[in-house]
Amino acid sequence: MYGSSESGVRKNLTTVTWMPGISGTPLMVNTVNEVDIQLRAVCDDLAKLDNEFMKYVKRTAGTFNYRVIAGTQRLSAHSYGIAIDINTEYSDYWQWDKSMKYKNKIPMEVVEVFENRGFIWGGKWYHYDTMHFEYRPELLVK
């Protein structure tokens, strides 16, 4: 759907400016299924939150990165340009801790903004990844 190879994915990528006026970081995301449009809408919605939430989203750890998921042979959602990792300074990831004891610092207000636009949050997974959001509207029940 998003491209069957790295070159196929790259043909569908466009640049989205992350958090214009706050961060302004250019990010590469897919145009298929309007991922780019939804990520721009996420930026607009996040900008409406109180300033206390900006530290979680001002910085990003990126979007498009054609690679496999560590320890697997499956391509990451980042490979398709449909995922974003937000500020790692406030994120928790199961492989960083190794205890598998769930941790999270990302406020639900931030999570809800992404979920309202068709993204799923890695903070709800058993192998939690609280910085990670991927555009998967087909998995969400409305």
Give 39-90 pLDDT, tens digit per residue.
Answer: 999 999 999 999 999 999 999 999 999 999 888 999 999 999 999 999 999 9
The class (CATH top level) of 6-139 is alpha beta
Indicate whether 31 pLDDT > 80.
Answer: yes
> Tell me, what's the pLDDT at 141?
66
* SS3 call for 11: coil
- What percentage of the chain has pLDDT greater than the value 90? 80
> Tell me, what's the pLDDT at 45?
98
> Tell me, what's the pLDDT at 142?
61
Alpha-carbon distances, residue 45 vs 13, 26, 38, 62, 81 (angstroms): 22, 18, 10, 19, 20
Q: Report domain extents, the chain.
A: 6-139
- Contact assessment for residue 53 and residue 106, using Cβ atoms and an 8 Å cutoff: no
Q: Which of 92, 38, 87, 97 is nearest to 62 (CA)?
A: 87
